[in-house]
């Protein structure tokens, strides 16, 4: 299934016409000549199914073992050729329209590596909640690397892209391939896992509490009991590969205890999810986004409705695998 055919999802509760209108919005006000000078891509979010925090390293970062999964909640990126030797960007979130944005840094990394002078304007339409534990910025950076590689047919190997991705951020290498993967180190050592997604977890319901969480503070406040030796991720990997199954009890996040303790809004949101019908709730990344899963759409939609009625920002979505041109649901 191509992106253009992909109209039947209910990602983030927007409804079925959104996927098609991404393209028509982008092309609406442009001449045919201008359309030859643009390239369009999507950039998907992730959740962490497991997150083991191992020891602290000399560089101040913690060694991690985490199983990540891309989901059908996405930003859109539109690249246009610019007849100047620079990269400019515009974003529907004005606070992100600057040169520090990861899409600008990714495009500059490619231009510098290959000594390119071709300029670019990047239009970024954010729909993935920002600083939410969903990897939006990292995904945007990887999508930019992949889009320029594909559009300009660049002489870059997967290893070149991986090196640039690792320099841009911990989660960026994962998004070069996405899908389901075990990520180790700071996140740069990727082991793709066979795409077996358990039917009992078909529908993902995400809740983004209306607060920001500081990743640095969350790591600083870890206690000895929050650390593990990677065994949660190892066990989940085995369950996925041998039984094609993952139970709620297999999911784990070593950052969760601290986040729930430090941020009462997250603890309240978790309680609201359980009250509204969630059988379990887990934190994604360093939060504050929480997620749960359902086997059936009616069950998921009922819980979504209950939470939306209480004013929560909720997204109903699915696990996906994508090679950046095709998307498939597990």
Ligand X SMILES: Nc1ncnc2c1ncn2[C@@H]1O[C@H](COP(=O)(O)OP(=O)(O)O)[C@@H](O)[C@H]1O
Binding segment for ligand SUD (CB under 6 A), chosen from 60-68, 112-120, 121-129, 243-251, is 60-68
Distance CA 37, CA 34 (A): 5
| Closest among 185, 183, 160, 182 to 59, alpha carbons compared | 185
Instruction: Look at the block and give the residue holding tokens 């600008």.
Output: 104
Least distance from ligand SUD to the Cβ atom of residue 194, Å: 21
Q: Which residues pair with 51 in a beta bridge?
A: 66, 253
Contact string 76-105 vs ligand X (x = CB under 6 A) = --------------------x----xxx--
Distance CA 72, CA 12 (A): 8
> Any contact of residue 131 with ligand X (CB under 6 A)?
yes
Backbone angles phi, psi at 76, to 5 degrees: -115, 150
Interface of this chain with ligand X, residues 240 to 269, rule: CB under 6 A = none
> Any contact of residue 107 with ligand X (CB under 6 A)?
no
> Any contact of residue 135 with ligand X (CB under 6 A)?
yes
Distance CA 100, CA 107 (A): 11
Q: Which does 102 bind (CB under 5 to 8 A by kind): ligand X, ligand SUD, none?
A: ligand X
Q: Which does 81 bind (CB under 5 to 8 A by kind): ligand X, ligand SUD, none?
A: none
> Any contact of residue 216 with ligand SUD (CB under 6 A)?
yes
Instruction: Look at the block and give the residue holding tokens 């927007």.
Output: 14
Instruction: Look at the block and give the residue holding tokens 């590689």.
Output: 149
Instruction: Look at the block and give the residue holding tokens 């969480």.
Output: 213
Determine contact, residues 10/315, Cβ cutoff 8 Å. no
Binding segment for ligand SUD (CB under 6 A), chosen from 75-83, 106-114, 169-177, 240-248, is 169-177
Q: Which residues here bind ligand SUD, judged by CB under 6 A?
A: 48, 60-62, 64, 66, 133, 135, 169-171, 186-187, 215-216, 219, 285-286
Catalytic residues: 46, 171
């Amino acid at each position: 299934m191509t992106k253009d055919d992909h109209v039947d999802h209910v990602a983030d509760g927007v409804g079925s016409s959104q996927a098609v209108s991404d393209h028509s919005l982008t092309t609406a006000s442009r001449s045919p000549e201008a359309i030859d000078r643009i390239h369009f891509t999507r950039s998907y979010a992730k959740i962490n199914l497991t997150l083991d925090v191992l020891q602290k390293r000399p560089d101040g970062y913690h060694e991690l073992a985490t199983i990540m999964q891309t989901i059908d909640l996405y930003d859109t990126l539109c690249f246009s050729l610019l007849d100047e030797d620079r990269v400019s960007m515009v974003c529907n979130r004005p606070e992100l329209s600057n040169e520090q944005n990861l899409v600008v840094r990714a495009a500059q990394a490619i231009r510098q590596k290959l000594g390119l002078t071709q300029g670019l304007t990047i239009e970024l339409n954010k729909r993935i909640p920002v600083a939410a534990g969903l990897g939006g910025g990292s995904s945007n950076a990887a999508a930019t690397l992949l889009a320029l590689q594909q559009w300009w047919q660049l002489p870059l190997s997967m290893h070149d892209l991986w090196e640039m991705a690792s320099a841009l951020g911990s989660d960026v290498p994962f998004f070069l391939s996405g899908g389901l993967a075990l990520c180790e180190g700071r996140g740069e050592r990727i082991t793709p896992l066979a795409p077996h997604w358990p039917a009992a977890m078909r529908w993902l319901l995400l809740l983004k509490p209306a607060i920001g969480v500081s990743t640095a503070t969350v790591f600083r406040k870890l206690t000895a009991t929050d650390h593990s030796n990677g065994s949660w991720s190892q066990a989940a990997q085995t369950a996925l590969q041998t039984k094609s199954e993952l139970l709620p009890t297999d999911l784990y996040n070593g950052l969760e205890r601290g986040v729930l303790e430090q941020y009462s809004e997250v603890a309240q949101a978790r309680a609201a999810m359980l009250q509204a019908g969630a059988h379990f709730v887990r934190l994604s990344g360093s939060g504050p986004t929480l997620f749960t899963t359902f086997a059936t759409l009616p069950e998921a939609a009922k819980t979504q409705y209950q939470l939306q009625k209480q004013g929560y920002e909720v997204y109903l979505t699915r696990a996906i695998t994508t090679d950046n041109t095709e998307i498939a649901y597990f």
